[in-house]
A and B are shown apart, each in its own frame.
Chain A
Amino acid sequence: MSKILIELTVNGDLRELAVAPHERLLDVIRDGLGLTGTKEGCGEGECGACTVIMDGRPVNACLVLAPQAAGSEIITIEGLTADSTMSLLQTQFVERGAIQCGFCSPGMIMTAKALLDDNPEPTEEDVREALSGNLCRCTGYEKIVDAVLATAVLSAEEKAVDERFTTSSQGGDR
């Protein structure tokens, strides 16, 4: 079976890859690129462990064929850690005990990131709705939901602080 050459951007890096037509994006990420932070829990799109963000939307990487991802921009869990510092969302997952075995965590965090990017002030219902495709067997979801809500609150506070100081410094310039 002849392979197809595709280009895609993963965590900011442009990658060129030869893939089989039926190869899954998940295998490209895990085996082709060695980004094993993205997990496989079922291979059928039921558990959400393999969630990555593709062009701004959360997708199950086990259900996306690699050629379908050609030209797209993918963010995996590894892409959230800049200069070895975790994002606020990841920090909240840790500090609020939202992680037990951790196997669902990367997918859960990617889904939550996509939600917060889209809706920076979600209600608890919004969060539970958004996470409903990501299964967790350890936590009962309570601390996960709280971590996402807390991230939203802290981001809003950070934003408010940023705005205030940006405004005053600009004011000082004039």
Chain B
Amino acid sequence: MAKVIERREMSTVEQAYLVEAAKGLYGTAKHLVRGFFKHETLPTVSYPEQIIPIPQDYRAHHRLMKRPDGEARCVACYMCSTACPARCITIEAEEAKDGHIEKKAKKFEIDLLVCVFCGLCEEACPVDAIRMDTKKVSVVADSRDQFVRNMENLLDWNPADYPADDTQSQKAPGGRLNDQARTEWAGGTGH
């Protein structure tokens, strides 16, 4: 049921306006005095110098996860590009030679100008190969072409930037768990 708002008539004093205007002036004066003497209470954050921490599950620039040997974990199943509502992911597949998987991505491109950062690719991926947890929110480039991120860009990340309890990131080359993961990788039979 809709809420009925009671509209009351203005009193004589309110209609005379001057008193109400004075009240309004008093209200703004309070803000002014507070802002002048208690500058720190203003909500403004001076951005490039002070950066508000971005939460871990914020959907930002994508990255491709890596196997212990540094290859992309992607198996070129096209699930992400199928799930993508903006159709910004372009994948070309080729045969994987190393015996662990059948297919791998030859080309994996994300057009950031088309991407809507919905996170559906992350959810669709069966092997946790694509993630959006880089916290990179400011992407700057000179031309449209540079906003199309290729495989090399997407694989360019450092395990040191990710939390130590994020095992999937730590199993990449340079990560804390990489040695252990490589042993399993060499002795194991794929997934």
A binds B: no
A interface residues, Cβ below 8 angstroms from B? none
Name B's A-contacting residues (CB within 8 A): none
